[in-house]
Each structure stands twice: as C-alpha cells, then as structure tokens.
C-alpha cells in the first residue's frame, strides 16, 4: 500500500509540475505576441522551454492574434491551450526580458515554478511614466523634423505636436479604439495641430507634419512581417503586412483630410 501511495503521489506531482510548466510557456508566448514579437520567436521560445521542462512532444502554432499549444502529459494524455491575443503594442524590452527567462530555464538555472513567477512579475511591472513617454515621443518627433529639413522653429513646433499626440494615447486606450482608428485620429491631430502652429508662427509645413507622424509609422511591424514571410510563416507575414499597410494608409488619410479642408 505504501508503494502504491508513493507511486500515485509521484504521478500527481508530475502532473502538477507539468501544469505549472504549461502555464509558464503559455504566459511566455502570450507576452511575446502582446509585445509585438515575431510569431517564430514565440514558437521557438515555447519549444525550448518545453524541452527544458521535460515536455519534448509539445507543438505550437502561433499567429499575431493568438496561438494553439498542445502538450503531452506524463499520464499519456494531451493538454491543449488556445490563447487569443486581444491587445498588442511594441515593447522590445519586455520581449528581451522574456527571452532572458527562457534562456535561464533552458540552461537549468530556473525551474518551471521560478520561470512562471519571473514572467508574472515582468507582466506586473507598470509601463514607463506618462511624462517620460510624452517627452520621448516629443524628442523623436522633433528629431525627425530636423531630418526632413526643418530648423529650430520647426523642431520646437514638432515637439509640441508630438507631446500632445502622445498625451492623447491613453484616451484612445480608454475608449478602446481599434488600431486603425487610432492611426486615423493621430493623423488628423498631427495635421490639425501642425496647421494651427504654422498659421501662427510660420515655418516649413512638410518638416513639421512629417516629423510628427514618423514615430507612428509601423516600421517594426512591417519588418516583422518580412521576417515571418522569409521564414515560411506566410499567414503571419501576410497578416502583419496587411495590418502595417492599413495603419500607414489610415495615418496618411487623417493627414490628407485636414490638408484638403
């Protein structure tokens, strides 16, 4: 009886350990995709972590909007997880942190429980303070205006426009606007504020408007689309490319509407 109790207890511990490992890899893949990471990066991270946690028969199929994971459990059964990615934003720092956790797990420096706790702690960290985000966006917009041939006056106006645009981003999030409508509203705001400042102080219109919208262009999304396509992930590549192109078109449409009026 003691033998069977020990045997069943060990089996229960293995199942519990597998459940924790599955939670860790699911949270890792979800965090990477929500942070704008490539689908192949999410898949490779999951496969490496599954091998490290004793689940070599795992399979994952990831898309920009979700993924499906199937894991073979110690009792011979299969556990399948389907995760829908509702919100996505670019956060390269978060992707790097998750990759660090994955490397430590593969190297044997983290158990499944420790990896799950580490990723959960990463997700609990708040975003950078709003003033810092506004200041960085303003500086980036001002720098782009100089790149497009603007002077000190155009740079300062573009910094002001960029600061207002970034300050409005939390309002879009509260209103739960889709990405395409955010791009359209940002284009209208950029062109409207730029036109108002230019009518008051004068200056180069192209430098101010171009500098203001440059930080919003989906360059990284298009790069990820090309990388996914070149690696054979055609569905993910086409989806990302379509999203990036539509976002750029809506941004340009917002600017065009104001300029035509």
Q: What is the pLDDT of residues 143-152, one digit of tens each?
A: 999 999 989 9
Note the pLDDT of residue 141: 93
Pair (140, 186) in one structural domain? yes
Q: pLDDT confidence of 6, banded at 50, 70, 90?
A: very low
Domain end residue (candidates: 109, 124, 139):
124
Pair (141, 102) in one structural domain? no
Domain end residue (candidates: 80, 106, 124):
124
Q: Mean pLDDT across the chain, nearest whole number? A: 88
Note the pLDDT of residue 9: 47
Pair (182, 108) in one structural domain? no
Pair (152, 117) in one structural domain? no
- How many domains are there within the chain? 2
Pair (116, 159) in one structural domain? no
Pair (70, 149) in one structural domain? no
Q: What percent of the chain has pLDDT over 70?
A: 94
Mean pLDDT of the region 232-261: 90
Pair (244, 140) in one structural domain? yes
Pair (171, 60) in one structural domain? no
- Range of 154's domain? 130-260
Inter-residue contact 142 to 211 (CB < 8 Å): yes
Pair (89, 157) in one structural domain? no
Pair (145, 236) in one structural domain? yes
Pair (117, 6) in one structural domain? yes
Domain end residue (candidates: 102, 124, 146):
124
Mean pLDDT of the region 113-127: 89
The more confident residue out of 103 and 86 is 103
Note the pLDDT of residue 13: 66
Q: pLDDT confidence of 12, banded at 50, 70, 90?
A: low
Pair (26, 89) in one structural domain? yes
């Amino acid at each position: 009886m003691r033998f069977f109790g020990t045997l069943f207890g060990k089996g229960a511990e293995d199942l519990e350990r597998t459940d924790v490992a599955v939670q860790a890899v699911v949270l890792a893949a979800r965090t990477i995709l929500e942070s704008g990471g490539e689908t192949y990066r999410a898949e490779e991270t999951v496969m490496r972590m599954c091998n490290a946690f004793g689940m070599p028969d795992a399979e994952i199929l990831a898309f920009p909007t979700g993924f499906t994971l199937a894991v073979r459990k110690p009792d011979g059964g299969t556990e399948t997880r389907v995760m829908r990615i509702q919100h996505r934003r670019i956060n390269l720092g978060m992707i790097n942190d998750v990759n660090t956790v994955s490397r430590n797990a593969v190297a044997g420096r983290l158990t499944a429980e420790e990896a799950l706790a580490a990723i959960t702690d990463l997700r609990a960290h708040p975003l950078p303070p709003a003033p810092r985000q506004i200041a960085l966006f303003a500086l980036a917009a001002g720098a782009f205006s100089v790149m497009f041939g603007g002077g000190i006056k155009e740079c300062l106006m573009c910094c002001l426009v960029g600061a207002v645009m970034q300050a409005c981003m939390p309002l879009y999030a509260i209103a739960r606007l889709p990405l395409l409508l955010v791009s359209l509203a940002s284009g209208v705001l950029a062109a409207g504020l730029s036109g108002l400042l230019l009518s008051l102080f004068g200056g180069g219109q192209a430098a101010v408007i171009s500098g203001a919208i440059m930080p919003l262009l989906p360059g990284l999304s298009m790069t990820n689309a090309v990388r996914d396509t070149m690696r054979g992930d055609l569905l993910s590549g086409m989806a990302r490319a379509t999203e990036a192109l539509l976002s750029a078109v809506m941004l340009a449409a917002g600017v065009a509407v104001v300029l035509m009026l």
